[in-house]
Structures are given as C-alpha cells and as structure tokens.
Amino acid sequence: MPSKKNKSTYSSRQLFAALVVISLVLWILYRSLFNFPVIFDETVGKALFFGLPIWIYLSSTGQEKVVESLSLGKMKQGLLRGLAMGGLFGFVGILISIVMKGPALDVVRANLFGANQFWWEFLLALPTAFWESLFFFAFIQTALKDQFKKMDTTKIILISSLVFLLFHIPNSILRFQGTGIWVQLWLMSLFALGQSILFHGSKNTYTIIFTHAIWGMVLLIHF
C-alpha cells in the first residue's frame, strides 16, 4: 500500500501537470479568440494565466523556493547580472543586425533612447518579463526539481524550454508568415534554453526578468 508521502507526492505532480496543461490550453484559446490591447495582455492577462496557477500550486503544496528566488536579498545581484547579460544580448543583436542589414545606422535607431515610444515599450516589457520568467522558469523548473527529484538537470532545462516554446507558438503563427515563423521559433528556442540555464545557475528570478526585458527590446530594435 502506498504511503501517505507517496500519495502526497503523486497528487502534487498531478496538480503541477494539470495547472501547466490548463494554462496552455486557456492561453491558446485566449490569444486565438480575443484581441485585447497589449497592455491588458501583458498585465492582467498574464497575471491571470501565469500568476494564478503559481498561486494555486504554492498554496496547495507549501513550496517556498519559487518565492525565495524573488527575495529582496537577491534583488541587487540579480539586477546587476541581468543588466550585464542584457548588455551582451544587445551587443550580439547589433552584430547580427550588421551582418543582415549592413553597418548603416538609421535615424530611428540613432535617436532611439530619446523616443517616448522606446520607454513605453520598455515599461511594457517589464511585466511581460516578470510573469513569463516567474512561470516558465522559476515556477516550472523549481516544481520539476521538487516533484521529480531523480530527474537530471538537462531534462529539467529542456522541459521548461519546451513549455516556453509551446506557449509562444500561437503568437508566432498569428504575427508572422512563412520563414518568419521558423526564425521566431528558432530565436525563442535559443532564448528559452539560455534563460533556463541562467536560472538554474543563479536561482534568481530578478536576473532572468531583466535579461528577458532587454532581449525583447533587442528584438524590437534590430529585428
């Protein structure tokens, strides 16, 4: 007869899997059927579809490691690391843009940091980065490690990256066509792997929030 501990572990695993699958299905339906303003999607929408499942899981299991990754003591180090990695992303983005489009710097990008639209897009990128970093990496990776203690790190990284990709496929299909879809999926796959590895090494959600926000701005500016 299975022990109470084994039953509890099994129930927690079922809850985790159910929350991720339900979130995925509801998110796909939401993005396919509705067309709300971006600010609503990135704040209210993602708080509902990404934040609520985390709250349900934490309330049911008592898991605190997700919250620990956002402790105030980790903020300074996380922000500095995030800015450093974000700067590296920006540099790589510039190099790729030069290779693809040539070295000429257009007027729009030259005056970018003085444009109100740039800072508005950056403000929108922050809640996006917060909810997605919290759900896809801090939550999923921590839950996988907690519920499947024998699962090796490589599998955890690949699963969290795959979940990230699955959630973003509908948006890529809606926004792009032809080869543009495959380019987006390739970029997102590399990004997800990088974020997953970064979180595994740091256990610091602030770091991946800032790398996520800056990466989004790099794509907006250069691609």
- The string of pLDDT tens digits covering residues 24-45 is 999 999 988 888 998 999 999 9
Which pLDDT score, from 0 to 100, does residue 192 have?
A: 93
- The dihedrals phi and psi of 36, each to the nearest 5 degrees, come to -80, 165
pLDDT for 116 beyond 80: no
d(CA 42, CA 186) in angstroms, rounded, equals 23
d(CA 33, CA 27) in angstroms, rounded, equals 10
pLDDT tens, residue by residue, 76-96 = 999 999 988 887 877 776 676
Which pLDDT score, from 0 to 100, does residue 9 have?
A: 75
pTM of the model: 0.86
d(CA 130, CA 137) in angstroms, rounded, equals 11
Which pLDDT score, from 0 to 100, does residue 26 have?
A: 95
Q: How many CA atoms lie within 13 A of 206 on its CB side?
A: 16
pLDDT for 194 beyond 60: yes
C-alpha closest to that of 217 among 102, 103, 94, 135 = 94
Q: What is the mean pLDDT of the chain?
A: 85
Which pLDDT score, from 0 to 100, does residue 170 have?
A: 81
Which pLDDT score, from 0 to 100, does residue 91 have?
A: 74
More confident call, 103 vs 86: 86
Which pLDDT score, from 0 to 100, does residue 1 have?
A: 47
d(CA 58, CA 79) in angstroms, rounded, equals 25
Average pLDDT over residues 138-160: 94
Which pLDDT score, from 0 to 100, does residue 77 have?
A: 94
Read off the pLDDT band of 141 (50, 70, 90). Answer: very high
Average pLDDT over residues 114-141: 86
pLDDT for 103 beyond 80: no
